[in-house]
């Protein structure tokens, strides 16, 4: 078993240039491949910390694998390797649910259990999705923040991740639906752009948005990479345009505050520790057969009980909880929590 794992690590390292986590070599028991959207995105590294801790506690070794870019092709190449090395389970956040459907079917057919978190695969490509927060709740807090920052009227734009990401697309769709409500009717969504969770592209798109829309009041970036890149650009250029979205507290220190020197009055995230922990617990429970992932099933994680619900896409999911608002009041505390 150890030999197989080493082969995957070596081939993965050659293919993608990622490093071998120490934890992956510490167990001869269950093995899990944890696949994020892309390398260099700290969101997945933070989620992996509590994922690995929980998995190790339960006797499973974790290999984290990050594709070189947030694309379907890069993830497909990784999944081909995963099929060959055959861990007990795969837990994935997908860049493109439709494009990954075929390879994920083959992963499942090979006997590897498939859980997912953050960005959901198609219902029949997964056994369970750990949903960080319901999409309507995420959309509501973001739109309310845009409303609050603009004073309820004016132009705003969205700087998203990749155009095929299920999570960002669900949040954007929900925001567009909510825009029909009366309280948002004086807000104008001027543009939606996709920075592919690539810091350079996100920076260029921020510049482009400001040039093309000189009256832009707020950029909403529902991606940790997008918001961090936009924050740097806006603040370095002393832009009057402000910022909100979904961010990692550690990356938003120095940009978050209510006074003029800061570009971001508030942003949101969810409980990253619990996201990783719950995803690991669900994955190990699939492997050991104590959990089916089907609607109605239960997961008991210490004193919290999670029920599997039917997801809006027809699959099943466990919902973690509501998004958390982060401001200058709690950013330091939150950054300490999610290292």
Q: Which is nearer to ligand RAM, 21 or 40 (CB)?
A: 40
The nearest distance, CB 82 to ligand RAM, in angstroms, is: 19
Query: Under a CB-based contact definition with an 8 Å cutoff, are residues 101 and 313 in contact?
Result: no
Which of 88, 118, 274, 317 contacts ligand RAM by CB under 6 A?
A: 118
Q: Tokens 């029909």 sit at which residue?
A: 180
Stretch that binds ligand RAM, among 37-45, 178-186, 290-298, 304-312 (CB under 6 A): 37-45
The nearest distance, CB 24 to ligand RAM, in angstroms, is: 23
- Number of helices followed by number of strands (H, E) in the chain: 11, 15
Which of 92, 159, 225, 318 contacts ligand RAM by CB under 6 A?
A: 225
The nearest distance, CB 14 to ligand RAM, in angstroms, is: 26
Q: Does 243 bind ligand RAM (CB under 6 A)?
A: no
**DSSP code for 246:** B
**Among the listed residues 18, 40, 36, 57, the one whose alpha carbon sits nearest the alpha carbon of residue 280:** 57
Stretch that binds ligand RAM, among 14-22, 201-209, 219-227, 324-332 (CB under 6 A): 219-227
- Residues 161-200: x/- map of binding to ligand RAM (CB under 6 A)? x-----x-----------------------------x---
Cα–Cα distance list, 294 to 94, 184, 288 (Å): 20, 38, 15
**Rounded Cα–Cα distance for residues 64 and 33 (Å):** 6
Q: Which regions of the chain does DSSP assign to beta strands (E)?
A: 30-35, 60-65, 89-92, 113-117, 128-131, 154-160, 187-194, 216-221, 242-245, 267-269, 298-301, 304-307, 309-310, 316-319, 324-326
Q: Does 246 bind ligand RAM (CB under 6 A)?
A: yes
Stretch that binds ligand RAM, among 23-31, 223-231, 249-257, 303-311 (CB under 6 A): 223-231
Contact residues for ligand RAM (CB under 6 A)? 37, 41, 43, 93, 118-119, 161, 167, 197, 223-225, 246
């Amino acid at each position: 078993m150890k030999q197989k794992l080493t082969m995957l690590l070596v081939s993965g390292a050659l293919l993608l240039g990622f490093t071998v986590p120490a934890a992956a070599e510490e167990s001869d028991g269950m093995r899990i491949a944890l696949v994020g959207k892309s390398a260099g995105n700290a969101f997945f590294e933070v989620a992996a910390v509590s994922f690995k801790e929980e998995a190790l506690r339960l006797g499973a070794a974790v290999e984290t694998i990050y594709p070189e870019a947030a694309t379907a092709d890069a993830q497909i190449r990784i999944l081909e390797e995963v099929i060959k090395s055959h861990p007990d389970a795969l837990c994935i956040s997908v860049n493109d649910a439709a494009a990954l459907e075929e390879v994920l079917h083959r992963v499942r057919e090979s006997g590897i259990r498939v859980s997912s978190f953050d960005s959901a695969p198609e219902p029949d490509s997964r056994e369970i999705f750990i949903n960080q927060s319901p999409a309507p709740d995420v959309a509501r807090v973001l739109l309310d923040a845009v409303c609050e920052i603009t004073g309820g009227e004016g132009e705003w734009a969205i700087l998203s991740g990749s155009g095929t990401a299920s999570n960002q697309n669900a949040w954007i769709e929900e925001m567009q639906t909510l825009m029909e409500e009366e309280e948002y009717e004086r807000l104008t969504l001027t543009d939606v752009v996709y920075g592919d969770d690539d810091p350079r592209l996100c920076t260029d798109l921020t510049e482009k948005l400001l040039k093309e829309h000189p009256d832009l009041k707020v950029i909403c970036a529902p991606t940790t990479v997008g918001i961090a890149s936009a924050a740097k650009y806006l603040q370095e250029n002393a832009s009057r345009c402000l910022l909100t979205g979904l961010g990692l507290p550690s990356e938003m220190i120095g940009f978050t505050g209510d006074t003029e020197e800061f570009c971001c009055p508030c942003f949101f995230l969810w409980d990253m520790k619990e996201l990783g922990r719950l995803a690991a617990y669900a994955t190990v429970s699939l492997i050991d057969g104590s959990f089916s992932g089907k609607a109605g099933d239960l997961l008991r994680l210490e004193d919290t009980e999670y029920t599997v619900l039917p997801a809006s896409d027809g699959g099943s999911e466990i919902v973690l909880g509501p998004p958390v608002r982060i401001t200058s009041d709690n950013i330091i505390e939150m950054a300490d929590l999610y290292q």
